[in-house]
Amino acid sequence: MSTQEAPSASQRQLCARCKDQAKLHCPKCLNLDLPKFLGAFCSQDCFKAGWSEHKKVHQTSGAWLYCRRRGQDFSPQFPDFKWTGPLRPDRVGPPRLGRFQRAFKGQIIQKEGYQRVRFEAVPVWRGKELAALKNACRLGREVLDKAHAAVQPGITTDEIDRVVHEATIEADAYPSPRNYYHFPKSVCTSVNEVICHGIPDCRPLEDGDIVNVDVTVYHRGFHGDLNETFTVGDVSDEHKLLIKVAHDCLAHAIEIVKPGTRYRDLGEVIQKHAAAHGFSVVKSYCGHGIGRLFHCAPNVPHYSHNKAVGTMKEGHVFTIEPMINEGIHKDVTWPDCWTAATADGKRSAQFEHTLLVTHSGVEVLTERLPTSPLLWWQKDGGIIS
């Protein structure tokens, strides 16, 4: 199903409820600086009759109210917030709707379930359930590849969100991030110094940027989660190296996944490789179990000397997603309560796979396909000129 398109100038004056000619606008929508067509009504009676449904627009918009403006026009709204790097949030477009919008109102997958299950035993997946989980992961890979193919200078991360949203809906799936604890978009796009959970907006990607695209799809009861960091145009050698090291940290961790391996040992492998190249590992965020829940046991930290509990067993499914920083490991959260940026403003890169522990080792459920767009070293032969 196609996403919601911005209407023409004439259409914007139609009532959001009955589509008659609009004569007034919702004051709350105007205060939030939302697109006028979302809050246009023909009469006070129509506004009152549609209020129970319309107010949901305000609830999901509150999480990204801060994103209305950028740069100096925006900063006065948060005079005490210390931006750590040059990146600023830009305008965030209206939410994209799909045929699963009502079924997944408020992201039905968790809330209570997350709190109850996340600390319990790691699920063991077999048979038809495992097959369905694998299929969700394969769909996630296909969606991420479409997003990767769209990355180029001049494209906005909001446009990447459109690509992800439409590809997910066309695959008869739901974008797991959409409305997850009020996250406003269908994918996380983290640019330059943003470590993770970046909200897609209208800032065009610039030559020399790096961008992480984190895709999760929900298909027939299961989630598939993965991400990769891409170059935008001509990227410096230092930042190419950062991306490659983040990829290799994940690859080295995957090499030790097998029954009997302690989850805490993954962090030792990751930090050793990152430190060897002068980079640091983020400690605030970790990998996680995944399946019927977006996030559940086990927790999978990426740094050494962590306190993760448990050992891997056949049938365990979880993500490894190390976030590697050019500078210090510490992070700062933007006023949207989602976007995590490096505390020193230097860049960060990340890669993620969903993994299945097999009887003899590991199966990468989100592995790259022969048709996957090439990463920078695959195109350049791994050579930094």
Per-residue pLDDT of the chain (385 residues; tens, 9 = 90+): 223 333 333 334 678 778 788 888 888 877 765 656 667 889 998 888 888 778 766 654 444 444 443 333 444 455 677 899 999 888 888 778 766 555 454 444 444 344 444 557 899 999 999 999 999 999 999 999 999 999 999 999 999 999 999 999 999 999 999 988 778 899 999 999 999 999 999 999 999 999 999 999 999 999 999 999 999 999 999 999 999 999 999 999 999 999 999 999 999 999 999 999 999 999 999 999 999 999 999 999 999 999 999 999 999 999 999 999 999 999 999 888 799 999 999 999 999 999 999 999 999 999 999 999 999 999 987 766 4
Relative to beta strand 210-219, strand 174-175 is antiparallel
Find out whether 341 and 84 touch, Cβ atoms under 8 Å: yes
Q: What's residue 55's pLDDT?
A: 76
Is 252 among the annotated ligand-binding positions? no
Is 331 among the annotated ligand-binding positions? no
Q: Which residues contact 374 (CB under 8 A, 6 or more apart)?
A: none
Is 158 among the annotated ligand-binding positions? no
Number of H helices, E strands in the chain: 10, 17
Find out whether 193 and 84 touch, Cβ atoms under 8 Å: yes
Q: What's residue 227's pLDDT?
A: 98
What's the gap between Cα 317 and its chain centre?
A: 19
CATH 3.90.230.10 fits 112-380, yes or no: yes
- Residue 231, classed as helix, strand or coil, is strand
Find out whether 319 and 136 touch, Cβ atoms under 8 Å: no
Is 268 among the annotated ligand-binding positions? no
Q: What's residue 104's pLDDT?
A: 53
Q: Could you tell me the pTM of the whole model?
A: 0.80
Residue ranges per domain, the chain? 11-65, 112-380
Is 321 among the annotated ligand-binding positions? yes
* Residue 11 per-residue DSSP state: G
Is 120 among the annotated ligand-binding positions? no
Q: Which residues contact 8 (CB under 8 A, 6 or more apart)?
A: none
Is 273 among the annotated ligand-binding positions? no
Nearest CA to 374 among 199, 248, 228? Answer: 228
- Please state the φ and ψ torsions of residue 163, each to the nearest 5 degrees: -60, -45
Q: What's residue 183's pLDDT?
A: 86
Q: 249: exposed, middle or buried (C-beta count within 10 Å: 0-12, 13-18, 19+)?
A: buried
DSSP string computed for 157-223 = HHHHHHHHHHHHHHTT-EETTTTGGG--SSSEEEETTEEE-PPP-SPBP-TT-EEEEEEEEEETTEE
List the beta bridge partners of residue 212: 190, 229
